Amino acid sequence: MGRKRILRRQQHGSAWHWKQTDAWYYTLPGTKKRMPLFDENGERVRGRHNHAAALQALAKVKVTLADDGVFPGEWIVARVCSDYLQYCEQGAKKGTISVTHWKAAQAWLNDLCAFCGALPVAQLKKGHVTSWIEKHSTWRSTETHRSVISVVLAAFNRAEEMFGVTSPLKGLKKPAPKPRLQSISPEDEQTIFDNLEPQFRNFLFAAIHTGLRPFCELALLKAEHIERTPRGMMWRVYSTKTKKTRKIPVRPEVAKLVETLLKEAPPGSNLPIFRNTKGRPWKRMTGVVRFVGLRKKLKWNLDSTRSKYTCYTCRHTFVHRMLSGYWTDGKGCSIETVAELIGDTPKVAFEHYGREWGQHYQAPLWAAIGEPLSVSPPKKPANKPKQPKRKPR
């Protein structure tokens, strides 16, 4: 004989009474979040005897949702994406979310909606997202896959946090991050400087010698962020990525260049120190176009190593030179020091640079255990890349 069926409470979308608060609620289908019901005076419907008033309040809620073009409780993929894009747009206007993230999310989520936007959230599987990503042959980099999956997960996590919509993508793994081993050699650095106009040359020179994120930190630097101390120049750097400010010292050659550029961007001018040929701040797209043109000009796009050079490689170059002691006669600094200079946590800095860098550059490892090198280390080039000079007008 089968077990007697246990009666459950009403289905989602119905009005139900919660004894703990003595108030009436409803739960939209596909969610786990309880929503209180209010009467005509804006007060919560209370008392178990007020079942009729609760049903009337629920009917008004359903009519309101229907007028807005939203079927009560129907959560589809497009609705999740739309809510997240509205959140990003508001954040971009307030300055709490970068415009770059908003634009990228807009492109990726709209593309996802074209693939499976009408699919109910409850029917969405991890395989749908994986198939959608694999459909794009131009998304070859694992870093692109990581960024796309991060945005998709953020959209569904927000829907779960704000509306109680259970995310079907829990456990969707992102590709493992690749270590940043790409670095510009001193010879290639000089070649780059010799083939650029002063504005872009100065920008890349500062990026290589400070390790700042090119477009969300260095491009926003102004005269008000400069501090002069007895030991040298320091910069107060605010990152729109981490939403944090740090103070870093800069090398003398960079300080000398900045002192020259400050004549055209003095305090109070509200001008960034590093500007493009049109006098505007450097933007990510502008920098990408300029570097792509440089690689084609030098025919580096045919080289397996140099074809990967970008503006962000300047940041990696700074880290590698700090770890190898490029400016300190071979005495490299710790990963904690590098993390403070570049605005990362020691954990992130080690994952990106330290772990694999130790396998490719082992001189510090031998020095740490007191063993000299069996062969003399290669000497640094006699002529380091020259500091960019401003051409007379």
- SS3 per residue for 331-346: CCCCHHHHHHHHCCCH
pLDDT score recorded for residue 375: 47
Sequence-separated contacts (24+) of 252-256 with Cβ below 8 Å: 253/209, 253/387, 254/205, 254/206, 254/209, 254/210, 256/387
Distance CA 228, CA 212 (A): 19
Distance CA 234, CA 226 (A): 6
Q: Would you say 211 and 201 are in contact if contact means Cβ atoms under 8 Å apart?
A: no
Q: Say if residue 229's pLDDT is above 80.
A: yes
Half-sphere exposure of 153 (CA within 13 A, CB side): 14
Angle at 347 between CA 101 and CA 159, to 5 degrees: 40
382 is a domain residue: no
Q: Say if residue 106's pLDDT is above 90.
A: yes
Which domain, by its residues, includes 101? 77-163
Half-sphere exposure of 84 (CA within 13 A, CB side): 30
Whether 45 and 194 map to the same domain: the answer is no
In degrees and rounded to multiples of 5, residue 233 shows phi and psi of -85, 145
Q: Would you say 225 and 213 are in contact if contact means Cβ atoms under 8 Å apart?
A: no
Tokens 């990408």 correspond to 288
Whether 115 and 63 map to the same domain: the answer is no
Whether 359 and 286 map to the same domain: the answer is yes
Domain end, chosen from 132, 163, 194, is at: 163
3-state helix, strand, coil in the chain (%, to 5): 45, 10, 40
Number of structural domains in the chain: 3
Task: Return the bridge partners of 31, or none.
Answer: 165
Whether 222 and 83 map to the same domain: the answer is no
Mean pLDDT of 31-42: 79
Whether 99 and 224 map to the same domain: the answer is no
Q: Would you say 384 and 186 are in contact if contact means Cβ atoms under 8 Å apart?
A: yes
Higher pLDDT, 70 or 336: 336
Mean pLDDT of 306-325: 91
Distance CA 78, CA 266 (A): 48
Q: What are 135's two structure tokens? A: 């459909």
Sequence-separated contacts (24+) of 94-98 with Cβ below 8 Å: 96/243, 98/216, 98/240, 98/241
Average pLDDT of the chain to the nearest whole number: 84
For residue 198, the 8-state DSSP code is H
* Burial annotation 273-289 (CB, 10 A radius, 16+ → b, else e): bbbbeeeebbeeebbee
Residue 349's nearest CA partner among 336, 367, 365 is: 336
Domain end, chosen from 45, 67, 89, is at: 67
Whether 25 and 114 map to the same domain: the answer is no
Whether 56 and 125 map to the same domain: the answer is no
Q: Would you say 30 and 121 are in contact if contact means Cβ atoms under 8 Å apart?
A: yes
Whether 59 and 31 map to the same domain: the answer is yes
pLDDT score recorded for residue 19: 87
168 is a domain residue: no
Portion of the chain with pLDDT greater than 70, in percent: 82
Assign 378 a pLDDT band (cuts: 50, 70, 90). very low
Whether 220 and 357 map to the same domain: the answer is yes
6 is a domain residue: no
How many Å from the N-terminal Cα to the C-terminal Cα in the chain? 99
pLDDT score recorded for residue 269: 93
Whether 108 and 215 map to the same domain: the answer is no
209 is a domain residue: yes
pLDDT score recorded for residue 323: 86
Distance CA 296, CA 303 (A): 10
pLDDT digits (tens, 9 = 90+) for 118-161: 898 988 999 999 999 999 999 988 889 999 999 999 999 999 88
Contacts of 148 (CB under 8 A, 6+ apart): 108, 133, 139
Whether 283 and 234 map to the same domain: the answer is yes
Higher pLDDT, 33 or 59: 59
Whether 19 and 40 map to the same domain: the answer is yes
Assign 377 a pLDDT band (cuts: 50, 70, 90). very low
Q: Say if residue 99's pLDDT is above 50.
A: yes
Mean pLDDT of 362-385: 57
pTM (2 d.p.): 0.65
